[in-house]
Amino acid sequence: MITAEVAVYPLKTTNASGTINNAIHALDNSNVNYSVNSMNTHITGSKEEIFNSLQHMFTEAENSGSEINMVVTITNSAD
């Protein structure tokens, strides 16, 4: 089990919140637990599920048509 903290930063767009929400909703179809905070999203699951989820999030954000920065911190620490 690992945990990731991810933040999506859309660039050059007038619909940043839509891009961020689309990225977060990509997690709805994954087998991970996640909680959305004001500045980032925490995701917990297996290593494979986390990396797949991050890829889906980036793809969804990228499909919005804007440039994307994604900042991720990953840990296998229990707390």
Query: Which domains are seen in the chain, by residue range?
Result: 2-75 (3.30.70.930)
pTM for the complete prediction?
A: 0.91
Task: Specify the pLDDT at position 78.
Answer: 77
What is the per-residue pLDDT across 28-59, written as a single tens digit (0 to 9) for each? 989 999 999 999 999 999 999 999 999 999 99
Question: For residues 79 and 31, what is the distance between their CA atoms, to the nearest angstrom?
Answer: 21
**Dihedral angle sign, alpha carbons of residues 22, 20, 9, 51:** negative
